[in-house]
Amino acid sequence: MNFEKNAVLETHLQKVGAEHVLVQGHPAGLFVLFFTEMWERFSYYGMRALLVNFLVSTIAQQGWGWTNSEAMKLYGLYTGMVFLTPLFGGIIADRLTGYKKSIMVGAIIMTLGHIAMALEGFNKSFFLAGLVLIVLGNGLFKPNISSMVGKLYPDKGGKKDAGYTIFYMGINGGAFLGMMLCGYIGEKIGWHYGFGLAGVFMFLGMLQFYFAQPIFGKIGNTPQKQEELTDIAAGEEENPKHIVRDRLLVIAIFMLSSIVFHLAFEQAGGSMTIFAKNYTQRVLSGEVAVLFKWLDAALTVLPIVVITGVLFVLAKKIVRKYPMIILFSSISFVIIWSLCLWKVYREYYGMNSEVTVSWFPMLNSFFIITLATSFSKIWEKVWNPSGPIKFAMGLTLVGVGFAALSIGSSEIPTGAKTASVSMIWLVLAYFFHTVGELCIGPVGLSYVSKLSPKKFLGLLFGFWFCANAIANFIGGFIGSYIDKITESHSMSYFFAVFTVIPMVAAVFLILANKKIKKMMHGID
Protein backbone atom coordinates (compact mmCIF):
# COMPACT_ATOMS: atom_id res chain seq x y z
CA MET A 1 0.00 0.00 0.00
CA ASN A 2 2.78 2.45 0.89
CA PHE A 3 4.50 1.60 -2.40
CA GLU A 4 1.37 2.56 -4.32
CA LYS A 5 1.05 5.84 -2.43
CA ASN A 6 4.70 6.64 -3.05
CA ALA A 7 4.34 5.83 -6.75
CA VAL A 8 1.39 8.24 -6.99
CA LEU A 9 3.31 10.88 -5.07
CA GLU A 10 6.44 10.55 -7.21
CA THR A 11 4.36 10.85 -10.37
CA HIS A 12 2.75 14.00 -9.00
CA LEU A 13 6.15 15.51 -8.13
CA GLN A 14 7.48 14.78 -11.61
CA LYS A 15 4.46 16.48 -13.16
CA VAL A 16 4.95 19.67 -11.18
CA GLY A 17 8.70 19.68 -11.78
CA ALA A 18 9.68 19.29 -8.12
CA GLU A 19 12.52 17.15 -6.76
CA HIS A 20 10.98 13.68 -6.54
CA VAL A 21 13.47 12.20 -4.03
CA LEU A 22 11.45 10.95 -1.06
CA VAL A 23 12.56 11.22 2.56
CA GLN A 24 10.70 8.87 4.90
CA GLY A 25 8.00 8.53 2.23
CA HIS A 26 7.54 12.30 1.82
CA PRO A 27 8.96 14.85 -0.68
CA ALA A 28 12.37 16.26 0.21
CA GLY A 29 10.84 19.70 -0.36
CA LEU A 30 8.53 19.14 2.62
CA PHE A 31 11.51 18.98 4.96
CA VAL A 32 13.07 22.10 3.44
CA LEU A 33 9.82 23.93 4.15
CA PHE A 34 9.82 22.23 7.57
CA PHE A 35 13.12 23.93 8.50
CA THR A 36 12.29 27.26 6.86
CA GLU A 37 9.04 27.49 8.80
CA MET A 38 10.80 26.23 11.93
CA TRP A 39 13.18 29.20 12.06
CA GLU A 40 10.40 31.66 11.25
CA ARG A 41 8.30 30.24 14.09
CA PHE A 42 11.40 30.36 16.33
CA SER A 43 11.52 34.11 15.78
CA TYR A 44 7.77 34.69 16.14
CA TYR A 45 7.10 32.54 19.20
CA GLY A 46 10.40 33.50 20.80
CA MET A 47 9.35 37.14 20.68
CA ARG A 48 5.74 36.37 21.62
CA ALA A 49 6.86 34.48 24.73
CA LEU A 50 8.43 37.71 25.95
CA LEU A 51 5.79 40.22 24.85
CA VAL A 52 3.21 40.24 27.67
CA ASN A 53 5.81 39.43 30.33
CA PHE A 54 7.98 42.32 29.12
CA LEU A 55 5.07 44.77 29.00
CA VAL A 56 3.77 44.01 32.52
CA SER A 57 7.21 43.84 34.15
CA THR A 58 8.09 46.89 36.22
CA ILE A 59 10.39 49.67 35.08
CA ALA A 60 12.91 48.41 37.65
CA GLN A 61 12.84 45.05 35.85
CA GLN A 62 13.54 46.88 32.56
CA GLY A 63 9.93 46.37 31.42
CA TRP A 64 7.30 48.98 30.58
CA GLY A 65 5.14 48.56 33.70
CA TRP A 66 1.83 48.20 31.83
CA THR A 67 -1.33 46.84 33.46
CA ASN A 68 -2.55 43.33 32.61
CA SER A 69 -5.47 44.82 30.67
CA GLU A 70 -3.23 47.11 28.58
CA ALA A 71 -0.78 44.32 27.81
CA MET A 72 -3.54 41.89 26.84
CA LYS A 73 -5.11 44.43 24.48
CA LEU A 74 -1.82 45.03 22.68
CA TYR A 75 -1.20 41.27 22.61
CA GLY A 76 -4.63 40.64 21.08
CA LEU A 77 -4.16 43.43 18.53
CA TYR A 78 -0.68 42.26 17.56
CA THR A 79 -1.46 38.53 17.27
CA GLY A 80 -4.70 39.34 15.49
CA MET A 81 -2.89 41.45 12.89
CA VAL A 82 -0.30 38.69 12.47
CA PHE A 83 -3.10 36.41 11.28
CA LEU A 84 -4.99 39.11 9.35
CA THR A 85 -2.23 40.26 7.00
CA PRO A 86 -1.83 36.77 5.41
CA LEU A 87 -5.14 37.49 3.64
CA PHE A 88 -3.41 40.23 1.66
CA GLY A 89 -0.19 38.24 1.37
CA GLY A 90 -2.11 35.39 -0.22
CA ILE A 91 -3.71 37.73 -2.79
CA ILE A 92 -0.34 39.28 -3.65
CA ALA A 93 1.25 35.86 -4.18
CA ASP A 94 -1.68 34.49 -6.22
CA ARG A 95 -1.84 37.48 -8.55
CA LEU A 96 1.62 39.06 -8.66
CA THR A 97 4.68 37.50 -7.10
CA GLY A 98 4.12 33.77 -6.63
CA TYR A 99 4.83 31.97 -3.37
CA LYS A 100 8.63 31.92 -3.54
CA LYS A 101 9.14 35.68 -3.90
CA SER A 102 6.53 36.45 -1.26
CA ILE A 103 8.24 34.15 1.24
CA MET A 104 11.63 35.74 0.57
CA VAL A 105 10.39 39.34 0.86
CA GLY A 106 8.39 38.48 3.98
CA ALA A 107 11.44 36.88 5.62
CA ILE A 108 13.57 39.98 4.93
CA ILE A 109 10.94 42.32 6.42
CA MET A 110 10.54 40.15 9.53
CA THR A 111 14.32 40.06 10.04
CA LEU A 112 14.34 43.86 10.03
CA GLY A 113 11.44 43.81 12.51
CA HIS A 114 13.32 41.67 15.01
CA ILE A 115 16.40 43.88 14.68
CA ALA A 116 14.22 46.90 15.47
CA MET A 117 12.80 45.20 18.57
CA ALA A 118 16.31 44.41 19.78
CA LEU A 119 16.93 48.17 19.81
CA GLU A 120 14.00 48.89 22.16
CA GLY A 121 16.42 50.01 24.86
CA PHE A 122 17.35 53.07 22.80
CA ASN A 123 13.80 54.20 22.06
CA LYS A 124 10.32 52.72 22.50
CA SER A 125 9.54 53.60 18.89
CA PHE A 126 11.93 50.85 17.72
CA PHE A 127 9.86 48.28 19.60
CA LEU A 128 6.58 49.39 18.07
CA ALA A 129 8.13 49.69 14.59
CA GLY A 130 9.44 46.15 14.98
CA LEU A 131 5.95 44.85 15.75
CA VAL A 132 4.61 46.52 12.61
CA LEU A 133 7.39 45.08 10.42
CA ILE A 134 6.85 41.56 11.79
CA VAL A 135 3.12 41.83 11.11
CA LEU A 136 3.74 42.94 7.49
CA GLY A 137 6.44 40.36 6.79
CA ASN A 138 4.41 37.57 8.31
CA GLY A 139 1.54 38.44 5.97
CA LEU A 140 3.71 37.68 2.95
CA PHE A 141 5.38 34.63 4.50
CA LYS A 142 2.81 32.59 6.40
CA PRO A 143 0.02 31.72 3.90
CA ASN A 144 2.38 31.06 1.04
CA ILE A 145 4.71 28.59 2.70
CA SER A 146 1.61 26.63 3.80
CA SER A 147 0.36 26.74 0.20
CA MET A 148 3.65 25.31 -1.06
CA VAL A 149 3.34 22.32 1.28
CA GLY A 150 -0.05 21.52 -0.22
CA LYS A 151 1.28 21.76 -3.77
CA LEU A 152 3.76 18.98 -3.06
CA TYR A 153 0.98 16.39 -2.70
CA PRO A 154 -1.97 15.06 -4.72
CA ASP A 155 -5.30 15.90 -3.05
CA LYS A 156 -6.67 12.43 -2.41
CA GLY A 157 -5.44 9.97 0.22
CA GLY A 158 -4.07 10.49 3.70
CA LYS A 159 -0.58 11.47 2.56
CA LYS A 160 -1.31 15.20 2.54
CA ASP A 161 -2.76 15.13 6.07
CA ALA A 162 0.36 13.24 7.20
CA GLY A 163 2.61 15.73 5.38
CA TYR A 164 0.96 18.71 7.06
CA THR A 165 1.31 17.00 10.43
CA ILE A 166 5.07 16.63 9.85
CA PHE A 167 5.20 20.27 8.70
CA TYR A 168 3.37 21.18 11.89
CA MET A 169 6.12 19.47 13.83
CA GLY A 170 8.55 21.91 12.22
CA ILE A 171 6.34 24.83 13.21
CA ASN A 172 6.35 23.69 16.81
CA GLY A 173 10.00 22.74 16.80
CA GLY A 174 10.75 26.38 16.06
CA ALA A 175 8.17 27.56 18.58
CA PHE A 176 9.68 25.32 21.27
CA LEU A 177 13.23 26.49 20.69
CA GLY A 178 12.18 30.11 20.37
CA MET A 179 10.15 30.18 23.57
CA MET A 180 12.83 28.27 25.45
CA LEU A 181 15.87 30.29 24.35
CA CYS A 182 14.44 33.75 23.64
CA GLY A 183 12.24 33.47 26.72
CA TYR A 184 15.10 32.30 28.92
CA ILE A 185 17.63 34.84 27.66
CA GLY A 186 15.04 37.64 27.75
CA GLU A 187 14.02 36.94 31.36
CA LYS A 188 17.44 36.00 32.73
CA ILE A 189 19.88 38.15 30.72
CA GLY A 190 17.99 41.04 29.12
CA TRP A 191 14.84 41.62 27.10
CA HIS A 192 16.61 43.06 24.06
CA TYR A 193 18.94 40.05 23.84
CA GLY A 194 15.89 37.79 23.63
CA PHE A 195 14.32 39.95 20.93
CA GLY A 196 17.60 40.06 18.98
CA LEU A 197 18.15 36.31 19.07
CA ALA A 198 14.81 35.84 17.32
CA GLY A 199 16.11 37.91 14.39
CA VAL A 200 19.28 35.82 14.00
CA PHE A 201 17.35 32.65 13.21
CA MET A 202 14.86 34.45 10.99
CA PHE A 203 17.85 35.54 8.89
CA LEU A 204 19.32 32.02 8.73
CA GLY A 205 15.96 30.56 7.75
CA MET A 206 15.72 33.09 4.92
CA LEU A 207 19.14 32.10 3.57
CA GLN A 208 18.27 28.41 3.66
CA PHE A 209 15.07 28.97 1.68
CA TYR A 210 16.85 31.19 -0.87
CA PHE A 211 19.22 28.40 -1.85
CA ALA A 212 16.46 25.76 -1.74
CA GLN A 213 14.15 27.26 -4.37
CA PRO A 214 15.18 24.91 -7.24
CA ILE A 215 14.00 21.90 -5.21
CA PHE A 216 10.37 22.98 -5.72
CA GLY A 217 10.44 23.12 -9.52
CA LYS A 218 7.45 25.09 -10.81
CA ILE A 219 5.77 25.24 -7.42
CA GLY A 220 5.70 28.80 -6.12
CA ASN A 221 6.70 30.55 -9.34
CA THR A 222 5.05 33.77 -10.50
CA PRO A 223 1.39 33.38 -11.59
CA GLN A 224 2.31 33.60 -15.29
CA LYS A 225 4.82 30.76 -14.96
CA GLN A 226 2.34 28.82 -12.82
CA GLU A 227 -0.28 28.50 -15.58
CA GLU A 228 1.18 25.27 -16.93
CA LEU A 229 1.48 23.85 -13.41
CA THR A 230 -2.14 24.69 -12.67
CA ASP A 231 -3.29 22.91 -15.83
CA ILE A 232 -1.27 19.81 -15.00
CA ALA A 233 -1.80 19.45 -11.28
CA ALA A 234 -5.13 20.92 -10.38
CA GLY A 235 -7.90 19.80 -12.66
CA GLU A 236 -10.23 21.97 -10.58
CA GLU A 237 -11.84 23.70 -13.57
CA GLU A 238 -13.71 20.49 -14.36
CA ASN A 239 -15.66 20.62 -11.10
CA PRO A 240 -19.27 21.83 -11.37
CA LYS A 241 -20.09 25.08 -9.61
CA HIS A 242 -22.19 23.42 -6.93
CA ILE A 243 -19.25 21.22 -5.89
CA VAL A 244 -16.93 24.22 -5.66
CA ARG A 245 -19.62 26.10 -3.68
CA ASP A 246 -20.17 23.22 -1.25
CA ARG A 247 -16.47 22.77 -0.63
CA LEU A 248 -16.04 26.48 0.05
CA LEU A 249 -18.89 26.27 2.57
CA VAL A 250 -17.06 23.42 4.31
CA ILE A 251 -13.94 25.58 4.52
CA ALA A 252 -16.12 28.32 6.05
CA ILE A 253 -17.47 25.87 8.67
CA PHE A 254 -13.93 24.76 9.51
CA MET A 255 -12.88 28.42 9.76
CA LEU A 256 -15.65 29.13 12.28
CA SER A 257 -14.58 26.07 14.26
CA SER A 258 -10.97 27.26 14.14
CA ILE A 259 -12.04 30.66 15.50
CA VAL A 260 -13.71 29.01 18.49
CA PHE A 261 -10.68 26.78 19.09
CA HIS A 262 -8.08 29.53 18.82
CA LEU A 263 -9.87 32.17 20.88
CA ALA A 264 -9.39 29.69 23.72
CA PHE A 265 -6.06 28.20 22.65
CA GLU A 266 -4.34 31.56 22.16
CA GLN A 267 -4.85 32.42 25.82
CA ALA A 268 -1.45 30.72 26.14
CA GLY A 269 0.39 33.94 25.38
CA GLY A 270 -2.06 36.12 27.33
CA SER A 271 -4.18 35.15 30.33
CA MET A 272 -2.31 31.86 30.83
CA THR A 273 0.98 33.81 30.89
CA ILE A 274 -0.50 36.11 33.55
CA PHE A 275 -1.71 33.03 35.48
CA ALA A 276 1.80 31.55 35.30
CA LYS A 277 3.42 34.82 36.39
CA ASN A 278 1.12 35.78 39.28
CA TYR A 279 -0.79 32.70 40.39
CA THR A 280 1.54 29.72 39.92
CA GLN A 281 4.13 28.39 42.37
CA ARG A 282 7.36 28.74 40.37
CA VAL A 283 10.00 28.94 43.10
CA LEU A 284 11.26 25.42 43.84
CA SER A 285 13.52 24.12 46.59
CA GLY A 286 15.18 20.97 47.84
CA GLU A 287 14.71 17.70 45.97
CA VAL A 288 11.92 19.18 43.87
CA ALA A 289 14.31 21.84 42.52
CA VAL A 290 16.94 19.22 41.65
CA LEU A 291 14.33 17.03 39.98
CA PHE A 292 13.09 19.98 37.95
CA LYS A 293 16.61 20.79 36.78
CA TRP A 294 16.98 17.26 35.41
CA LEU A 295 13.53 17.43 33.84
CA ASP A 296 14.27 20.81 32.28
CA ALA A 297 17.57 19.51 30.89
CA ALA A 298 15.73 16.56 29.30
CA LEU A 299 13.04 18.85 27.89
CA THR A 300 15.76 21.09 26.46
CA VAL A 301 17.84 18.41 24.80
CA LEU A 302 15.32 15.75 23.68
CA PRO A 303 13.42 17.85 21.09
CA ILE A 304 16.69 19.10 19.60
CA VAL A 305 17.88 15.50 19.25
CA VAL A 306 14.64 14.65 17.40
CA ILE A 307 14.87 17.65 15.06
CA THR A 308 18.60 17.11 14.47
CA GLY A 309 17.70 13.58 13.43
CA VAL A 310 15.27 14.99 10.85
CA LEU A 311 18.05 17.19 9.44
CA PHE A 312 20.45 14.23 9.31
CA VAL A 313 17.96 12.12 7.35
CA LEU A 314 17.35 14.97 4.90
CA ALA A 315 21.08 15.67 4.52
CA LYS A 316 21.83 12.08 3.51
CA LYS A 317 19.36 12.40 0.63
CA ILE A 318 20.11 15.84 -0.79
CA VAL A 319 23.49 17.14 0.46
CA ARG A 320 25.35 16.41 -2.79
CA LYS A 321 22.75 18.07 -4.99
CA TYR A 322 21.77 20.91 -2.65
CA PRO A 323 24.78 21.54 -0.34
CA MET A 324 23.86 25.13 0.56
CA ILE A 325 20.58 24.05 2.14
CA ILE A 326 22.40 21.71 4.50
CA LEU A 327 25.18 24.23 5.14
CA PHE A 328 22.89 26.95 6.52
CA SER A 329 20.75 24.44 8.38
CA SER A 330 23.88 23.03 9.98
CA ILE A 331 25.09 26.50 11.02
CA SER A 332 21.72 27.08 12.66
CA PHE A 333 21.94 23.82 14.57
CA VAL A 334 25.50 24.47 15.77
CA ILE A 335 24.29 27.75 17.29
CA ILE A 336 21.19 26.10 18.77
CA TRP A 337 23.15 23.26 20.36
CA SER A 338 25.67 25.73 21.82
CA LEU A 339 22.94 27.89 23.36
CA CYS A 340 21.00 24.93 24.73
CA LEU A 341 24.03 23.31 26.36
CA TRP A 342 24.96 26.70 27.84
CA LYS A 343 21.43 27.04 29.25
CA VAL A 344 21.49 23.53 30.78
CA TYR A 345 24.90 24.14 32.37
CA ARG A 346 23.91 27.56 33.69
CA GLU A 347 20.65 26.31 35.20
CA TYR A 348 22.05 23.12 36.69
CA TYR A 349 24.88 24.86 38.52
CA GLY A 350 22.93 28.05 39.26
CA MET A 351 21.56 28.86 42.69
CA ASN A 352 18.24 30.23 41.39
CA SER A 353 15.48 27.60 41.19
CA GLU A 354 12.70 29.80 39.84
CA VAL A 355 10.85 28.42 36.79
CA THR A 356 10.58 31.08 34.07
CA VAL A 357 7.15 32.19 32.90
CA SER A 358 8.07 31.30 29.30
CA TRP A 359 8.80 27.69 30.33
CA PHE A 360 5.09 26.80 30.40
CA PRO A 361 4.02 27.72 26.83
CA MET A 362 7.13 25.87 25.70
CA LEU A 363 5.38 22.66 26.82
CA ASN A 364 2.88 22.99 23.98
CA SER A 365 5.63 22.76 21.40
CA PHE A 366 7.44 20.01 23.30
CA PHE A 367 4.31 17.85 23.24
CA ILE A 368 3.79 18.61 19.53
CA ILE A 369 7.33 17.53 18.68
CA THR A 370 7.00 14.28 20.62
CA LEU A 371 3.45 13.44 19.44
CA ALA A 372 3.29 14.79 15.85
CA THR A 373 4.91 11.77 14.21
CA SER A 374 2.51 9.43 16.02
CA PHE A 375 -0.49 11.44 14.88
CA SER A 376 0.85 11.48 11.32
CA LYS A 377 1.05 7.68 11.34
CA ILE A 378 -2.39 7.35 12.94
CA TRP A 379 -4.06 9.50 10.24
CA GLU A 380 -2.17 7.70 7.48
CA LYS A 381 -2.29 4.06 8.58
CA VAL A 382 -4.54 3.40 11.58
CA TRP A 383 -7.58 5.67 11.82
CA ASN A 384 -8.43 8.61 9.61
CA PRO A 385 -11.80 10.03 10.79
CA SER A 386 -13.58 12.74 8.86
CA GLY A 387 -12.55 16.38 9.10
CA PRO A 388 -15.55 17.39 11.25
CA ILE A 389 -14.78 14.63 13.77
CA LYS A 390 -11.13 15.66 13.99
CA PHE A 391 -12.20 19.24 14.61
CA ALA A 392 -14.72 18.14 17.23
CA MET A 393 -11.98 16.16 19.00
CA GLY A 394 -9.73 19.24 19.02
CA LEU A 395 -12.44 21.51 20.40
CA THR A 396 -13.31 19.03 23.13
CA LEU A 397 -9.69 18.63 24.21
CA VAL A 398 -8.99 22.36 24.44
CA GLY A 399 -12.07 22.58 26.66
CA VAL A 400 -10.71 19.77 28.85
CA GLY A 401 -7.45 21.70 29.23
CA PHE A 402 -9.28 24.76 30.52
CA ALA A 403 -11.36 22.54 32.79
CA ALA A 404 -8.09 21.49 34.43
CA LEU A 405 -7.16 25.14 34.96
CA SER A 406 -10.63 25.89 36.31
CA ILE A 407 -10.31 23.06 38.85
CA GLY A 408 -6.74 24.02 39.76
CA SER A 409 -7.66 27.66 40.40
CA SER A 410 -10.84 26.90 42.34
CA GLU A 411 -9.12 27.61 45.69
CA ILE A 412 -7.93 31.09 44.65
CA PRO A 413 -9.96 33.70 46.59
CA THR A 414 -12.12 36.06 44.56
CA GLY A 415 -10.17 39.18 43.62
CA ALA A 416 -6.77 37.81 44.66
CA LYS A 417 -3.83 39.42 42.85
CA THR A 418 -1.39 36.59 43.54
CA ALA A 419 -1.50 32.92 44.53
CA SER A 420 0.67 29.78 44.55
CA VAL A 421 -1.22 27.16 42.56
CA SER A 422 0.62 23.94 41.71
CA MET A 423 2.40 23.85 38.34
CA ILE A 424 0.69 20.56 37.48
CA TRP A 425 -2.51 22.28 36.38
CA LEU A 426 -0.73 24.33 33.73
CA VAL A 427 1.18 21.25 32.58
CA LEU A 428 -2.09 19.31 32.19
CA ALA A 429 -3.71 22.22 30.36
CA TYR A 430 -0.88 22.48 27.85
CA PHE A 431 -0.94 18.72 27.27
CA PHE A 432 -4.66 18.62 26.43
CA HIS A 433 -4.39 21.80 24.36
CA THR A 434 -1.56 20.24 22.35
CA VAL A 435 -3.44 17.04 21.58
CA GLY A 436 -6.39 19.18 20.55
CA GLU A 437 -4.19 21.33 18.35
CA LEU A 438 -2.90 18.24 16.52
CA CYS A 439 -6.51 17.44 15.63
CA ILE A 440 -7.16 20.91 14.20
CA GLY A 441 -3.98 22.81 13.24
CA PRO A 442 -2.32 20.59 10.60
CA VAL A 443 -5.65 19.02 9.61
CA GLY A 444 -7.13 22.45 8.91
CA LEU A 445 -4.19 23.40 6.69
CA SER A 446 -4.57 20.12 4.81
CA TYR A 447 -8.30 20.56 4.20
CA VAL A 448 -7.90 24.12 2.96
CA SER A 449 -5.35 22.81 0.47
CA LYS A 450 -7.59 19.92 -0.64
CA LEU A 451 -10.91 21.74 -0.83
CA SER A 452 -9.77 25.05 -2.38
CA PRO A 453 -9.78 25.86 -6.11
CA LYS A 454 -6.06 25.85 -6.88
CA LYS A 455 -5.90 29.28 -8.52
CA PHE A 456 -7.21 30.82 -5.29
CA LEU A 457 -5.17 28.67 -2.90
CA GLY A 458 -3.03 31.50 -1.50
CA LEU A 459 -6.12 33.68 -1.02
CA LEU A 460 -7.99 30.96 0.85
CA PHE A 461 -5.00 30.26 3.06
CA GLY A 462 -5.08 33.99 3.75
CA PHE A 463 -8.74 33.68 4.77
CA TRP A 464 -7.84 30.70 6.94
CA PHE A 465 -5.30 32.74 8.86
CA CYS A 466 -7.78 35.62 8.91
CA ALA A 467 -10.00 33.33 10.99
CA ASN A 468 -7.10 33.05 13.44
CA ALA A 469 -6.89 36.85 13.43
CA ILE A 470 -10.53 37.10 14.46
CA ALA A 471 -9.90 34.50 17.16
CA ASN A 472 -6.94 36.44 18.51
CA PHE A 473 -8.88 39.72 18.54
CA ILE A 474 -11.73 38.06 20.45
CA GLY A 475 -9.44 36.04 22.71
CA GLY A 476 -7.32 39.10 23.51
CA PHE A 477 -10.44 41.15 24.24
CA ILE A 478 -11.87 38.51 26.59
CA GLY A 479 -8.47 37.96 28.18
CA SER A 480 -8.15 41.68 28.93
CA TYR A 481 -11.04 41.26 31.38
CA ILE A 482 -9.19 38.69 33.48
CA ASP A 483 -8.79 41.11 36.39
CA LYS A 484 -12.43 42.30 36.28
CA ILE A 485 -13.83 38.76 36.01
CA THR A 486 -11.67 37.41 38.83
CA GLU A 487 -12.68 40.35 41.02
CA SER A 488 -16.42 39.92 40.42
CA HIS A 489 -16.49 36.11 40.09
CA SER A 490 -13.30 34.03 40.32
CA MET A 491 -10.31 32.80 38.37
CA SER A 492 -12.04 29.42 38.14
CA TYR A 493 -15.08 31.08 36.53
CA PHE A 494 -12.82 32.84 34.01
CA PHE A 495 -11.29 29.56 32.80
CA ALA A 496 -14.68 27.79 32.84
CA VAL A 497 -15.83 30.16 30.09
CA PHE A 498 -13.15 28.70 27.82
CA THR A 499 -14.23 25.19 28.81
CA VAL A 500 -17.86 25.52 27.79
CA ILE A 501 -17.64 27.43 24.49
CA PRO A 502 -15.39 24.94 22.57
CA MET A 503 -17.36 21.93 23.82
CA VAL A 504 -20.65 23.39 22.55
CA ALA A 505 -19.05 23.89 19.12
CA ALA A 506 -17.77 20.29 19.19
CA VAL A 507 -21.31 18.96 19.70
CA PHE A 508 -22.50 20.93 16.66
CA LEU A 509 -19.78 19.42 14.44
CA ILE A 510 -20.57 15.87 15.58
CA LEU A 511 -24.27 16.35 14.80
CA ALA A 512 -23.51 17.91 11.40
CA ASN A 513 -20.78 15.39 10.46
CA LYS A 514 -22.72 13.47 7.78
CA LYS A 515 -23.98 16.62 6.10
CA ILE A 516 -20.53 18.21 6.04
CA LYS A 517 -18.92 15.04 4.64
CA LYS A 518 -21.49 15.01 1.84
CA MET A 519 -20.63 18.62 0.97
CA MET A 520 -16.96 17.68 0.59
CA HIS A 521 -17.82 15.59 -2.51
CA GLY A 522 -15.26 12.81 -2.16
CA ILE A 523 -12.44 14.70 -0.44
CA ASP A 524 -11.46 12.65 2.61
Taking the mean position of all CA atoms in its chain, how far away is CA 492? 27
Crossing angle between the packed helical segments 159-188 and 191-212, to the nearest 10 degrees: 150
Is 346 a member of any domain? no
Residues composing the chain: 524
Q: Which residues in 227-239 are b (16+ Cβ under 10 Å) and which e? A: eebbeebbebeee
Is 246 a member of any domain? yes
Mean pLDDT for the stretch of residues 503-518: 96
How far apart, in whole angstroms, are the C-alpha atoms of residue 100 and residue 213? 7
Q: Is the pLDDT of residue 226 over 70?
A: no
Residue range(s) defining the domain that contains residue 408: 240-282+369-523
DSSP letters, 327-350, are HHHHHHHHHHHHHHHHHHHHHHH-
| pLDDT, averaged across the chain | 85
Is 274 a member of any domain? yes
CA torsion angle for 404, 406, 412, 414 (degrees, to 10)? 180
Share of the chain above pLDDT 70, in %: 94
Crossing angle between the packed helical segments 191-212 and 98-118, to the nearest 10 degrees: 160
Higher pLDDT, 53 or 337: 337
Q: CATH code at 377?
A: 1.20.1250.20
Residues paired with 354 in a beta bridge: 283
pLDDT tens, position by position, 283-306: 888 888 888 888 888 888 888 898
Is 119 a member of any domain? no
Opening angle at CA 257, ends 254 and 258, nearest 5: 85
Coil, strand, or helix at residue 213?
helix
pLDDT tier for residue 72 given thresholds of 50, 70 and 90: confident
Is 505 a member of any domain? yes
Is 355 a member of any domain? no
Q: Is the pLDDT of residue 511 over 60?
A: yes
Residues paired with 283 in a beta bridge: 354
Mean pLDDT for the stretch of residues 156-170: 76
Is 396 a member of any domain? yes
Is 120 a member of any domain? no
pLDDT tier for residue 504 given thresholds of 50, 70 and 90: very high
Q: Is the pLDDT of residue 496 over 80?
A: yes
Contact 460, 250 (CB under 8 A): no
Radius of gyration of the chain (CA): 22
Q: Is the pLDDT of residue 204 over 80?
A: yes
Q: Is the pLDDT of residue 456 over 50?
A: yes
Coil, strand, or helix at residue 18?
coil
How far apart, in whole angstroms, are the C-alpha atoms of residue 195 and residue 201? 11
Opening angle at CA 90, ends 87 and 91, nearest 5: 90
**Total number of domains constituting the chain:** 1
